[in-house]
Amino acid sequence: MAVDLLLGLQWGDEGKGKIVDVLTKNYDIIARFQGGPNAGHTLEFDGHKHVLHTIPSGIFHDGTINLVGNGVVIDPVIFKRELDNLEKFNIDFKKNLLISRKAHLILPTHRLLDAASEASKGKAKIGSTLKGIGPTYMDKTGRNGIRVGDLEMDNWQEKYRSLADKHEAMIDFYNAEIQYDLSELEAEFFRAVEVLKTLTFIDSEEYLHKAQQEGKSILAEGAQGSLLDIDFGTYPFVTSSNTTAAGACTGLGVAPGKIKEVYGIFKAYTTRVGSGPFPTELFDEDGATMGRVGNEFGATTGRPRRCGWLDLVALRYAVQVNGVTQLIMMKGDVLSGFEKLKVCTAYNYKGETIQHFPYNIEAENVTPVYTEMKGWEADLTKMTEASQMPKALNDYIDYLEKELNVPIKIVSVGPDRKQTIIR
Ligand code: IMP
């Protein structure tokens, strides 16, 4: 059985949580392959809003197995909070949640290092979520990290102490003004580790291999977005993992040839949270309207998201790097009421018109070239059938499909599970 893949095509916050939740009924296993609690996947149903950070978005479906893969970094403290929330809704996570032994742990000192590193950068800061993501992946690639499987060994606390001591020396090196009480943070961490240890740790690549042989259906769930990929994103304003399709192979141990559908998810406009270039960013009333109507505030940090028109140069690039086979357009409803819509189809780059995503996309190098389209008035939020969609929305979608050469199969018109139109 093949593995399908769902990932974000922009700078994150495309709405992956909602779509995984909608698609979950088609899959036996949902497997998260990268990132950590920097992500915030929001799901709404039955009048409740749930935000997940590390746990896959299939956890609310009875009988679906949710796997946290080896490519993920886990902060036991945040993980415990997620479990506490699930407990309130009587979710049986002891049975339905599995964790890869090869996933790395975020230590309290990783979070402190993230804060110290950002503080030392001044104006050049990345705008990190400060969840310790960068320092944890640095320890992973530097071959110093502590993995979930280590928690099953007697000497893991010695390993912990020696790494945390090293981190403290590094924090001093940054000479940043950060206040902390490590013993308090460690007490919370060790308590949370004990809770984590009550869950099932597995050799997840072996588990997924067997599951494929048994004909189980698997959906690999990404976090963040393609333009935050450590290699292909807007470096250095990126996260520290491969958010693109290849990350699912390394983050789960799935062979490339086993991947079938690649669902690419994008918003009908563009947002970005944190620092970094954003060619179509709006600083006017249109951008403010998108932010207000789209409730564009980070699910993890609460920071307002920067908003702008859809950038087809960036989207085409993401479709290409990921090999997207089906597109999913989110938040079409937020564009209702705009008389005219703009779509960026090319960049003016150092005096030339280009259609590919270049090395530098800072404002001094790039100005967007826009095509204008007619907007629509209708409120889309109550629509459930493609036949109800206004002509101008259909024209918008047809135009995007033609430009991207991939069909748009799902249009989301609100945060609830029910506000989803299948085309
Ligand atoms: P970090 O991954 O927390 O170090 O953050 C690096 C950059 O990625 C910052 O600009 C963050 O705002 C951004 N980022 C990280 N996770 C997410 C996410 O889930 N959604 C949107 N942006 C994110």
Summarised one tens digit per residue, pLDDT across range 341-365 is: 999 999 999 899 999 999 999 989 9
pTM of the entire predicted model = 0.96
Q: What is the pLDDT of residue 301?
A: 83
**pLDDT range class, residue 326, cuts 50, 70, 90:** very high
Give the distance (Å) from ligand 1 centre to CA of residue 274. 7
Whether 194 has a binding-site annotation, put simply, is no
267 annotated among ligand-binding-site residues:
no
The pLDDT of residue 46 is: 87
Confidence of residue 41 (pLDDT cuts 50, 70, 90): confident
What Cα–Cα distance (Å) separates residue 205 from each residue in 145, 202, 235, 244, 278?
Answer: 19, 9, 30, 19, 37
pLDDT more than 90, % of the chain? 88
Query: Can you tell me whether residue 305 is helix, strand or coil?
Result: coil
Give the pLDDT score at 386: 94
Say yes or no to pLDDT of 267 above 80: yes
Mean pLDDT calculated for residue range 327-336: 97
pLDDT attached to residue 238: 97
Q: pLDDT for 123-159, tens place per residue?
A: 889 999 999 999 999 999 999 999 999 999 999 999 9
Question: Per-residue pLDDT averaged across 201-214, rounded?
Answer: 97
Residue nearest to atom 21 of ligand 1 (CA): 12
- Per the prediction, the chain carries an average pLDDT of 95
For the chain, the first-to-last Cα distance in angstroms comes to: 25
Q: What ligand 1 atom has the least distance to the C-alpha of 228?
A: 8
Calpha distance 171→353 (Å, rounded): 45
Decide if 418 is catalytic: no
Choosing from 224, 234, 297 the residue with most ligand 1 atoms within 8 A of its CB, the one to mutate for a pocket test is 224
* Burial class of residue 377, CB neighbours in 10 A (0-12, 13-18, 19+): exposed
Distance 239 CA to ligand 1 centre (A): 6
Is 111 within any annotated ligand binding site?
no
Q: How far apart are CA 246 and CA 268, in angstroms?
A: 25
Reported as a pLDDT band with limits 50, 70 and 90, residue 300 is confident
Q: In the predicted model, what is the mean pLDDT of residues 317-321?
A: 98
pLDDT score of 44 more than 90: no
**pLDDT of 1 higher than 80:** no
Residues with CB under 6 A from ligand 1: 11-13, 38-40, 126-129, 131, 133-134, 223-224, 228, 237, 239, 273-274
Q: How confident is the model at residue 17 (pLDDT cuts 50, 70, 90)?
A: confident
- The verdict on whether residue 22 carries a ligand-binding annotation is no
Tens of pLDDT, residues 91-124? 989 999 999 999 999 999 999 999 999 999 988 8
Nearest CA to ligand 1 atom 9: 128
| Torsion angles phi and psi, residue 335, rounded to 5 | -85, -5
Per-residue pLDDT at 213 exceeds 90: yes
Q: Is 203 a catalytic residue?
A: no
Is 140 labeled as catalytic in the residue annotation?
A: yes
pLDDT band at 379 (very low <50, low <70, confident <90, very high): very high
Whole-number Å distance, alpha carbon 224 to ligand 1 midpoint, is: 7
Please check whether residue 397 is in contact with residue 408, taking contact to mean a CB–CB distance below 8 angstroms.
yes
